[in-house]
Structure 1
Amino acid sequence: MSVKNNLKSILILLSLVCSQSNVFAQNPFARLESLFTVPKSYTLFRATAPLNMDGELNEKSWTDAPWTEYFIDIEGDLKPAPAYKTRVKMLWDANYLYVAAEMEEPHLWANKQPEKDIIFRDNVFKIFIDPDNNMNDDFEIQINPQNKMLFLIMNKPYRDAGTPVTGWNPIGYKSGVKLSGTINNSGDTDKGWLAEIAIPLAALRFDPLNSKQNTNFRINFLRTNFDFVVKDGVYSKAMDNNGKAFPPHYSCFTSQGIINMHYPERWAYTVFSDKAPDAQSEKFSLPYSEKQRKYLWLAYYRQKEFFKLNKKYAQSLKDLNVPEAGIQIDGKSNLLSMEATSKQFLVTIREEGSTGNISVDHDGLIIY
């Protein structure tokens, strides 16, 4: 390469770097906007009488409880609406969290005798729960149209080298499925299925009556649908030219902004109401602390990007183009700080003049 061309390439590179820096200076959330939409919320009313997990939803508490909006694509509203409708409603009582999911499905199919640890390989409905809003030690619950279930505990998200723990079965859980059609029968057209699940609150270490806990419960739902083929009357997943199944279609209650459910900071907020379901909905208001967390996640995502490129973490927020001061939240000034080594980091935000703070570390753990 000539000296002239070499100099030209360097100038172009510097121009790109300066341009990117200007973009970050004007908008530190540039390129990450999909991860900073405000998650949806849902008010859970208290069931007034025992509920039967039979997939019927004919008890008064269920009929009065509101449905969520129909699910959207996992990446958000910028993607096309899912082909089949899905919606959820929830309740609670002193012992259980109740979830009911209604799923439109013209072709009900599943493994005829699935092992419990592989039901996710076919069409399933999944529940993701972070009962204390710290983004670690989360729960995943799956159910398929045959009422087969799988339970997982994640010590931390996969993105932070998390490991799923299987073999956990919450003592006392109950479930029921109602099919509107016939499963594994390719000769007819079905309407769908409804799953009803009672999850023991004790298994989640959660008490809705504890005022310090009941504002922290985060939840989201995922429905997976695989493309399929029918051969000799038997359903199976459609394969590409390399013999691999096509990726499933993902729909969820509130957008993840990314094709990954293990971003618990993107899950929906909840309000646990002690009123009966026919009471007027209680409005959800995003807590001040959640607005502060927005800047913690900004620094966290930028650090992960930096590590991917440099095999080490940045030593300062300036290296990440993340603001340290002048952060205005509800008219109050906040400060951001970071401690970091090449392998670890801790980012902290606090309101000026306050002794309280919130932090996030390299494992995505929120610390108060």
Structure 2
Amino acid sequence: MPDPFTLIIFFVIIGFFKKNFIAGRKGVLKGKKQQKKRALFLVVATLGVSLILFSGLGRQGQLAGNDLISSPSFNTRSIFSASGLLPFWPSSSARQRAEELTSSLSPWPALWAATESLSQAGLSEPFSQDSEVEEFPVPKIPFAPPNYVCYRSSSPLKVDGALDERDWRRARWTEDFVDIEGENRPKPRFRTRVKMLWDGTYFYVGAELEEKDVWATLTERDSIIYQDNDFEVFIDPDDDTHEYYELEINALGTVWDLLLLRPYRDGGPAVHAWDIRGLKAAVKIEGTINRPGDRDKGWTVELAFPWEVLKECLGSKKLKPDSGDQWRVNFSRVEYRLNVREGKYEKAKDPASGQPLAEDNWVWAPTGLVNIHYPEMWGYVQFSDKIVGEGREDFQLSLEQDASWALRQVYYRQRDFYSRHGRYSDNLGELGLDRLRVEGYQWPPRIMVTWNLWEARLDSQDGKTSLFIRQDGRLTRQNLD
């Protein structure tokens, strides 16, 4: 019967095995299928050998292991590399403590020895700069988010989808939507634009969607609405890229609302059961819906988001934004190409595969890749206390916006560096960012790194503000005055 120490070591190895398998699936070893198979076999084989040793049946192997671990050729780093555990390769001080520990605990030398024997048998392929690793996807366009000054309505709006009230007529439209990848892609086939207003209770959104054939099929709330043509709203109140809202609506007025704890690239998850309590939503069709043979003009959407719900992710005790506050917001439109078959609309299909053609994704703020969940690329909405039509307020550009984008480059490079080397870096030279300069801030940032975590801190030159970003992409601010 193994003693308690043996059981502890057993579960540690099981944990390492699980971590290796997940890492292989998520892309640490992506592009090197043979390497993953070898690493997987190595861990399984090591586990089997270790159990024999720990159960007391391998005393000779332990003695042999003690001899091997003391030899100059012993290379524990190759063990971590071969087993896919290089991300857990410890610092020099930690390795020194581990080596001191192995001098007094007999099972560890044998374990290292067994693993090294497998490595020497040709099962080790350490990470290298030349490994076939898929690059972390980053925006392929310059950082230039659009902005919008959102004025107050003179009175509460009636949410009926019409957008014909005086306050709506006075509010300005956003720029026309573009392809999600940017203006280098083809111009959208149909025009889409948005207006915004607010009062003490709601954040109002009005959208106009040009459409020759208005079509929708989904009628149950919280259906996957983007499987229809739809309009989508994304709101990140505190610009940390985490804990943001998403709402989708189709031409039938069917809504899907959800909460994202983190972007999908950082593990999500999306909370589908979350609802915007008190949401008001309405659609108006200019033409007919689901009736082929006529020519429609389009449809309009009117939404009222209650501050009582939006405050949940505001990151402060405020019930609603103050005048001058800036939130990150984006709007998206999913559009399919349609054919008519037996008097009904259906998605156009690829003749070769028989599958529906890929949808178009049109947005207010392009992200530079086909993924709307890059909140750092969304537009800025600045709230004003002025009544719409009774004055003008300029959008306030901030040096912090550029500083935040510079820190985002550290996040992108760390993600890519980790995929290639199995560790994070505290050296901007290794990340290729040592020559970057940021006006108003003390570049370079200070970077703190552990085995599987990191955080970068960038201070303003006036010493009043610090910006932080960490391995899961969350950006936070700290006022120091």
**Which residue pairs with 1:354 in the alignment?**
463
CA displacement 1:12-37 (0-9 Å, x = unmatched) = xxxxx9xxxxxxxxxxxxx9673542
TM-score, normalised relative to structure 1: 0.85
Larger RCO (CA under 8 A, 6+ residues apart): 1
Is 1:173 paired with 2:279?
Answer: yes
Alignment of 1:66-85 (within 5 A): 66-85=172-191
CA displacement 1:305-330 (0-9 Å, x = unmatched) = 22233343334222111127x73405
Unaligned runs of 5+ in 2: 1-128, 130-136
- Give the conservation status (yes or no) of the 8 Å contact 1:335–1:352: no
Is 1:295 paired with 2:406?
Answer: yes
Quickly say closer, same or farther: Cα 1:115–1:49, change in 2 above 3 A. closer
**Which residue pairs with 1:60 in the alignment?**
166
Identity rate of aligned residues, in percent? Answer: 34
Report the CA distance between 1:189 and its aligned residue: 1.2
CA displacement 1:133-162 (0-9 Å, x = unmatched) = 111000001110000000010000001111
**Which residue pairs with 1:364 in the alignment?**
473
CA displacement 1:41-60 (0-9 Å, x = unmatched) = 00111011121111111211
Is 1:329 paired with 2:435?
Answer: no
- Alpha-carbon RMSD: 2.2
Of 245, 267, 292, 1:161 maps to: 267
Unaligned runs of 5+ in 1: 1-16, 18-30
Which deviates more, 150-159 or 110-119? 110-119
Quickly say closer, same or farther: Cα 1:254–1:355, change in 2 above 3 A. closer
TM-score, normalised relative to structure 2: 0.66
Is 1:219 paired with 2:325?
Answer: no
**Which residue pairs with 1:273 in the alignment?**
384
The code of the aligned residue for 1:254 comes to A
Which deviates more, 178-187 or 287-296? 287-296
Quickly say closer, same or farther: Cα 1:334–1:310, change in 2 above 3 A. closer
The code of the aligned residue for 2:456 comes to V
Q: How many Å separate the matches in 1 of 2:144 and 2:391?
A: 23
**Which residue pairs with 2:151 in the alignment?**
45
Report the CA distance between 1:214 and its aligned residue: 5.3
**Which residue pairs with 1:233 in the alignment?**
343
Q: How many Å separate the matches in 2 of 1:42 and 1:75?
A: 21
The code of the aligned residue for 1:233 comes to G
Of 392, 397, 406, 1:286 maps to: 397
Report the CA distance between 1:95 and its aligned residue: 0.5
Quickly say closer, same or farther: Cα 1:210–1:252, change in 2 above 3 A. closer
**Which residue pairs with 2:240 in the alignment?**
134
**Which residue pairs with 2:192 in the alignment?**
86
Q: How many Å separate the matches in 2 of 1:353 and 1:51?
A: 43
Report the CA distance between 1:353 and its aligned residue: 6.2
- Give the conservation status (yes or no) of the 8 Å contact 2:330–2:363: yes
Q: How many Å separate the matches in 2 of 1:189 and 1:114?
A: 27
CA displacement 1:145-184 (0-9 Å, x = unmatched) = 0000000100000011111001222221111111011111
Q: How many Å separate the matches in 2 of 1:65 and 1:156?
A: 32
- Give the conservation status (yes or no) of the 8 Å contact 2:406–2:438: no
The code of the aligned residue for 1:53 comes to V
Is 1:344 paired with 2:449?
Answer: no
Q: How many Å separate the matches in 2 of 1:264 and 1:147?
A: 26
Is 1:118 paired with 2:229?
Answer: no
CA displacement 1:269-324 (0-9 Å, x = unmatched) = 11111111103332112212212112101111111122233343334222111127
Q: How many Å separate the matches in 2 of 1:68 and 1:143?
A: 19
Report the CA distance between 1:334 and its aligned residue: 3.1
SS at match of 1:217: strand
SS at match of 1:202: helix
Quickly say closer, same or farther: Cα 1:74–1:322, change in 2 above 3 A. same
Is 1:96 paired with 2:207?
Answer: no
Of 281, 296, 308, 2:419 maps to: 308
Instruction: Please identify the structure whose Cα radius of gyration is greater.
Output: 2
- Give the conservation status (yes or no) of the 8 Å contact 2:153–2:167: yes
Q: How many Å separate the matches in 1 of 2:337 and 2:217?
A: 15
- Higher helix proportion: 2
- Give the conservation status (yes or no) of the 8 Å contact 2:145–2:380: yes
Report the CA distance between 1:340 and its aligned residue: 1.9
The code of the aligned residue for 1:102 comes to E
